[in-house]
């Protein structure tokens, strides 16, 4: 019996170790600027665009990279590159955004805001999970366009079969990100 428990624990440790290494490699080679540039060019077509990265004394936890987007030297909006979590490694369970840990799969996403912090576009930049990839569909992501926050699954954001957990976490994180940007704007940081 003890051999069975040790074997099970070693198998799980190996699985989590490989998953952690995979995530590390995935994020080590991602290029936020290239992905953000591609997306802002879709949002503000036929406009000469430039970006400047917002520097923080203490970067908010839910922001990986925040850029101001300019067109003809006029501020057009913001592009935020950040991450969320999906299913637990090895399978899904009931979503609880308040209790996430390193056993969850991580994915990267970009939110483009106008100057009023209204969402213009959401895009999944990197989704490496085995489950929940359905949230990458542009048609589903369009539901965020024109909103600010207070998104709720099955209320103002339609559910999506096969991605309940990833959708729940993404919605929670976009609401949190939008709230953070509201605070930064009220403090004249952005």
Whether pLDDT at 25 is above 50: no
> What are the residues facing 123 on neighbouring strands?
110
Closest CA to 83 of 166, 183, 189: 166
- In whole angstroms, what is the distance from residue 131 CA to residue 122 CA? 19
Strands 119-127 and 104-114: antiparallel
Q: What is the mean pLDDT of residues 31-49?
A: 90
Question: What contacts 169, CB < 8 A, 6 or more positions away?
Answer: 84, 85, 86, 95, 97, 100
Judged against a pLDDT cut of 80, whether residue 89 lies above it is answered with no
Q: Are 136 and 129 in contact (CB under 8 A)?
A: no
How far apart (Å, rounded) are the C-alpha atoms in residues 184 and 89?
33
Q: What pTM, to 2 d.p., does this model score?
A: 0.78
In this predicted structure, what is the pLDDT of residue 93?
Answer: 62
Q: Where are the domains of the chain?
A: 1-30, 31-186
The residues that bridge with 182 in the sheet, in sequence order, are none
pLDDT tens string 50-79: 999 999 888 888 899 999 999 999 999 999
């Amino acid at each position: 019996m003890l051999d069975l428990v040790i074997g099970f624990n070693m198998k799980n440790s190996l699985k989590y170790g490989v998953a952690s290494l995979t995530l590390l490699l995935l994020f080590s080679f991602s290029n936020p600027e290239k992905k953000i540039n591609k997306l802002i060019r879709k949002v503000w077509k036929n406009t000469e665009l430039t970006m400047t990265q917002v520097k923080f004394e203490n970067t908010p936890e839910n922001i990986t990279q925040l850029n101001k987007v300019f067109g003809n030297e006029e501020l057009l909006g913001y592009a935020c590159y950040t991450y969320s979590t999906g299913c637990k490694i090895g399978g899904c369970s009931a979503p609880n955004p308040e209790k996430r840990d390193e056993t969850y799969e991580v994915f990267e996403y970009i939110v483009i805001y106008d100057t009023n912090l209204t969402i213009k576009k959401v895009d999944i930049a990197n989704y490496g999970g085995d489950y929940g990839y359905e949230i990458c569909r542009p048609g589903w992501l369009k539901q965020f366009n024109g909103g600010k926050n207070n998104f709720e699954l099955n209320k103002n954001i339609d559910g999506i079969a096969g991605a309940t957990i990833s959708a729940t976490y993404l919605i929670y994180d976009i609401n949190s990100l939008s709230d953070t940007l509201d605070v930064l704007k009220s403090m004249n940081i952005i």
